[in-house]
């Protein structure tokens, strides 16, 4: 059995977990707008929750999250690391909140993009989003 399985994931402007363990999400979006390209988006946040299926009191996992332009294979930005889950940290919850900040992401072109979430080297979730060129209003 895998220790974590995805519940949901979204892209947003900001996210945090409060003292009671509630996940607070601000500004969920599906599109990024830019006047010219290449465009740099100053901050975007992946906010996700995963069900805890492990009965262990604590366990480690590796993660990789990458942003890819549809039709391309190389990520335009990637964050990798190792984290852990401790039962006392999540209290009696059966879910684990996962928040990851991307800063200064450069989009060379408007178009369709997606974010891939890997846990322990397995792709578990994707989030699609668009990067849209804003036309001048006359």
Write the pLDDT tens digit of every residue in 13-29: 999 998 888 899 999 99
Chain segment 25-52, per-residue pLDDT in tens: 999 999 999 999 999 999 999 999 988 7
Task: Give the model's confidence band at 130: pLDDT under 50 very low, under 70 low, under 90 confident, else very high.
Answer: very high
CATH assignment of 4-133? 2.70.50.60
User: Which pair of tokens denotes residue 36?
Assistant: 């010219």
Q: Quickly count: other Cβ atoms within 10 Å of residue 102's Cβ.
A: 19
Return the pLDDT at 90.
56
Task: Determine the Cα–Cα distance for residues 26 and 11; give it in Å rounded to an integer.
Answer: 10
Residue 1, pLDDT > 60, answer no
Residues 86 and 34 sit within 8 Å (Cβ to Cβ)? no
The answer to whether the predicted template modeling score (pTM) of the entire model surpasses 0.75 is: yes
Per-domain residue ranges of the chain = 4-133
Task: Determine the Cα–Cα distance for residues 100 and 16; give it in Å rounded to an integer.
Answer: 10
């Amino acid at each position: 059995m895998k220790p974590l399985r995805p519940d949901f994931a979204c892209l947003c402007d900001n996210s945090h977990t409060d003292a009671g363990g509630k996940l607070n999400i601000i500004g969920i979006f599906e599109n990024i707008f830019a006047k010219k390209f290449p465009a740099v988006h100053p901050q975007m946040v992946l906010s996700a929750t995963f069900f805890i299926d492990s009965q262990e009191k604590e366990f480690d996992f590796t993660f990789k999250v990458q942003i890819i332009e549809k039709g391309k294979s190389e990520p335009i930005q990637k964050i990798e690391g190792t984290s852990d889950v401790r039962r006392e940290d999540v209290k009696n919850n059966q879910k684990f909140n996962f928040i990851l900040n991307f800063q200064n992401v450069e989009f060379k072109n408007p178009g369709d993009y997606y974010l891939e979430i890997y846990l322990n080297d397995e792709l578990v979730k994707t989030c699609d989003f668009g990067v849209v060129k804003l036309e001048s209003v006359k």
